Amino acid sequence: MKIAETIREVREQVKKWRQEGLSVGLVPTMGYLHEGHKSLIDRAVQENDRVVVSVFVNPMQFGPKEDLASYPRDLKRDAAICEEAGAALVFHPEPEEMYHDDFSSYVDMNTLTGGLCGKSRPIHFRGVCTVVAKLFHIVTPDRAYFGQKDAQQLAVIRHMVNDLNFGIEIVGCPIIREKDGLAKSSRNTYLDAQERQAALVLSRALKEGRRRMDEGETDAGNIIQAITEIIESEPLAKIDYVEVVDWNTLEPVSEIQDAVLVAIAVYIGKTRLIDNFIVSE
């Protein structure tokens, strides 16, 4: 497996693969890989001849008060995980490689990005769309893999690919969890022992929401209330949002009919965690 730090190296490698008629899958990540990322790489390895994993903590998607500086990084470990999983190339650029001094073009979206995480992270999805568009142009994959863990991101990327005719298949992959239910996340490393325990409230609350829907509850307000009550019972938790939205438009719904995304963002101490489930009937 190769590690490339420049766009030129990636382009040259992909060109060779294309000449050999090989298909290419891309797994964009910010590194500090865990089983969630690995599930994406595994799926990509199954479905493509060659897999590129990008490891890039994208400064453009972090707000000024967010955790860009403290975001965990460990390229050596990441590379070992990628190699073990069967990736052919890790793309690990420095920020200067992706954003030269006079960089001034962005990919922005009028719909889908204003609610949910976009409310408290107003510049986040512009950064995500811009970097993912760049990665798509650099790697030109046949397929790209994204986790449902970041459900809004998955919906936004699908929308961008459709709007801008990227001709890349976007593959959504299920949420991988710890044994006790906590959704795996690089940010879980921020939690101390007490917070780690408190963080279980996210999956517990969603489970209750899901149970109520399975029992036939169709009033989104009642689902939101049930989830909110459970989260509020945890003293270390502070709700950013609890929402039930249409899975295609990400607009809030009051009556659950079509596919919906039930999504939450909760601060456990200073760490902001997200989780969700999708009901598609």
* Residue 127 binds ligand AMP (CB under 6 A): no
**C-beta of 146 vs 247, nearer to ligand AMP:** 146
- Least separation in angstroms between residue 30's CB and ligand AMP is 4
| Closer residue to ligand AMP in complex, CB, 36/93 | 36
Q: Are 93 and 31 in contact (CB under 8 A)?
A: no
Nearest to 30 by CA among 70, 72, 76: 72
The least distance separating ligand AMP from the CB of residue 128, rounded to whole angstroms, comes to 9
Residue 214's CB is within 10 A of a number of other CB atoms, namely: 9
The site string for ligand AMP over 161-200 (x = CB under 6 A, - otherwise) reads ------------x-xx------xxxx--------------
Task: Report the nearest approach of ligand AMP to the CB of residue 62 (Å).
Answer: 11
Q: Is 149 in the site for ligand AMP (CB under 6 A)?
A: yes
Binding flag, residue 272, ligand AMP (CB under 6 A):
no
Question: Please, which residue, 124 or 256, has the CB nearer to ligand AMP?
Answer: 124
- DSSP symbols for 88-138: SEEE---HHHHS-TT-------SSSSSSTHHHH-TTHHHHHHHHHHHHHHH
CB of 185 to ligand AMP, least distance (A): 6
Calpha distance 111→104 (Å, rounded): 22
- CA angle (35 as vertex; 211, 82 as ends), nearest 5: 155
Place of tokens 């060779």: 16
DSSP of 140-195:
--SEEEEEGGGHHHHHHHHHHHHHTT---EEEEEPPPB-TTSPBP-GGGGG--HHH
Q: Which two tokens stand for residue 107?
A: 């990919």
Query: Per-residue x/- mask for ligand AMP, residues 202 to 221, rule CB under 6 A?
Result: --------------------
Active site residue 92: no
- Catalytic one among 34, 37, 137, 159? 37
**CB of residue 267 vs ligand AMP: minimum separation in angstroms?**
17
Total of chain residues touching ligand AMP, rule CB under 6 A: 17
Per-residue contact string for residues 8-47; x = within reach of ligand AMP by CB under 6 A: ---------------------xx-----xx-xx-------
The C-alpha atoms of residue 96 and residue 76 are separated, in whole angstroms, by: 21
Do residues 153 and 145 make contact, with C-beta atoms less than 8 angstroms apart?
A: no
Q: Where along the sequence are the contacts to ligand AMP (CB under 6 A)?
A: 29-30, 36-37, 39-40, 146-147, 149-150, 173, 175-176, 183-186
| Positions marked catalytic | 37
